[in-house]
Amino acid sequence: MRFRSLLVIMLGMALAGMSIYASRGLLQVQPATASIDPAQPRLVSVVVAGQDIPFGVPIEARNLTTIQWPVDAVPPGTFRDFANLIPEPGTEPRRARRAMAQGELVLVGKVSDFGEKVTIVQTLGKNTRAMSIRVSAQTAVGGFVTPGDSVDVLMTQGRGASLRAVTILQNIRIIGVDQQADQQNDQANIAKTVTVEVTPEQGQKLALAQRAGNLSLSLRTLDSVVDAPMTSIRMSDIMQDEAPALVEPKRSIKVRRAGDVQNVELDSPTNGSE
């Protein structure tokens, strides 16, 4: 009886061992391999504005986010993470050198260094200057000129019949209205001064024009146009020097001849009758 029980136990153990050995092949984990589609571009993480960031606003983690961008299309000056944008605790932040819209790439040229002061100078292009123009509601399009707009600058000079107007500058960018330089601010205000971006040569013309006459701004369309030189316009160009000649209305009389009635024109006014 004992021998029989021992035989059953040994047989059970043998079957269990065979089952374990057979299952090892089924349970063996094969290394996973990822198939990469060569036609699909590789992506990297880049930092973009998570919300609209106005000019001069500190760069903080709450107004940033990251998105995936094709690695071959990443422009120079991008940030891959927040590490180089967010200041250490207790230190001064970076600031936006220009306004950035939500989803716009954050580039090195769009943000200041840590603790750097941000002024209107950061909005100027290469080899350009900032110059102010005295304006009023009448000369600044009723206050509808805002930072970021483009204008033509007109000068009027003289008085009476010698009054003339000429466009001295075309397609000039507005970078400030009074003390406001935020391009996201589209509220119309009656300004006293408007600051424009000009080249050194344009700045000389503007300085002379402000002393020689009165300046007005003409707000330009957003559509691209080709600028052409414009000649000055004088009062004589819009006013007629002589009144048009008076044309005397022609007069006629009716003449009845053999039952036929005809109109006969007179050379001079007459009181004649049929």
Q: What residues contact 107, with CB distance under 8 A and at least 6 apart?
A: 75, 77, 78, 79
Whether residues 193 and 98 share a domain: the answer is no
Phi, psi for 78 (deg, rounded to 5)? -80, 165
251 vs 160 pLDDT, higher one = 160
Q: Which amino acid is at 206?
A: L
Taking residues 231-260, report their average pLDDT: 69
The total number of structural domains in the chain stands at 2
Q: Reduced to 3 states, what is the DSSP secondary structure of residue 23? A: helix
Instruction: Give, for 91, the enclosing helix (H) or strand (E).
Output: none
Residue 149 falls within a domain, yes or no?
A: yes
110-140: b or e for each residue (b if 16 or more CB lie within 10 Å)?
bbbebeeebebebbeeeebebbebebeeebb
Whether residues 147 and 190 share a domain: the answer is yes
Q: How high is the mean pLDDT of the chain? A: 78
Cβ(215)–Cβ(209) below 8 Å? yes
Greatest pairwise CA separation for the chain in angstroms: 165
Last residue of a domain, one of 118, 133, 159: 118
Per-residue confidence band for 136, with pLDDT thresholds at 50, 70 and 90: confident
Whether residues 184 and 109 share a domain: the answer is no
Domain encompassing residue 46: 40-118
User: How far is Cα of residue 265 from the mean position of the Cα atoms in its chain?
Assistant: 68
Whether residues 77 and 95 share a domain: the answer is yes
How confident is the model at residue 274, as a pLDDT? 44
User: How many Å apart are CA 50 and CA 59, to the nearest integer?
Assistant: 11
State percent of the chain over pLDDT 70: 68
* 70-80 per-position pLDDT tens digit: 998 999 999 99
41 vs 68 pLDDT, higher one = 68
Residue 254 falls within a domain, yes or no?
A: no
CATH number at residue 68: 3.90.1210.10
Contacts 24+ apart (CB under 8 A), 164-169: 164/232, 164/233, 164/234, 164/235, 165/232, 165/233, 166/230, 166/231, 166/232, 166/233, 167/218, 167/230, 168/205, 168/206, 168/209, 169/198, 169/202, 169/205, 169/206
Asked if residue 51 has pLDDT above 90, the reply is: yes
Whether residues 134 and 101 share a domain: the answer is no
User: How far is Cα of residue 153 from the mean position of the Cα atoms in its chain?
Assistant: 20
Whether residues 96 and 145 share a domain: the answer is no
Cβ(89)–Cβ(61) below 8 Å? no
Q: What residues contact 248, with CB distance under 8 A and at least 6 apart?
A: 269
Whether residues 137 and 228 share a domain: the answer is yes
Residue 35 falls within a domain, yes or no?
A: no
Per-residue confidence band for 16, with pLDDT thresholds at 50, 70 and 90: low
Last residue of a domain, one of 87, 118, 149: 118
